[in-house]
Amino acid sequence: MNTRLLMMMHVKVGTLLNIGAVPHGTRRTAPLSGGTFEGPRLRGTIMSGSADWQLLRSDGVLEMDLRFTSGPTTARSSR
């Protein structure tokens, strides 16, 4: 498998909210109040209201599910 950079993100993370116990661990969210992303072929802004939904599993593994709304993006030509 070949991989390459898609984008780098810089986000403003708010206070972590512990939702509580669920069958596989502890559910929590971290609100994102904005930020930017940029990569070889795309760039844009991260809108307020986005969040990182997390599951802290009982085995200590943290599963992250980043859900964000993007602002204006610009396609770049391939190099």
| Domain count across the chain | 1
Task: Identify whether 74 is part of a domain.
Answer: no
Of 9, 14, 13, 69, the C-alpha closest to 36 is 9
Range of the domain at 46: 8-67
CATH code where residue 41 lies: 2.40.160.20
Cβ atoms of residues 44 and 76 within 8 Å: no
Task: Identify whether 29 is part of a domain.
Answer: yes
Task: Identify whether 20 is part of a domain.
Answer: yes
pLDDT per position as a tens digit, 11-68: 999 999 999 999 999 999 999 999 999 999 888 999 998 999 999 999 999 999 999 8
Is the per-residue pLDDT at 75 higher than 90? no
pTM of the model: 0.70
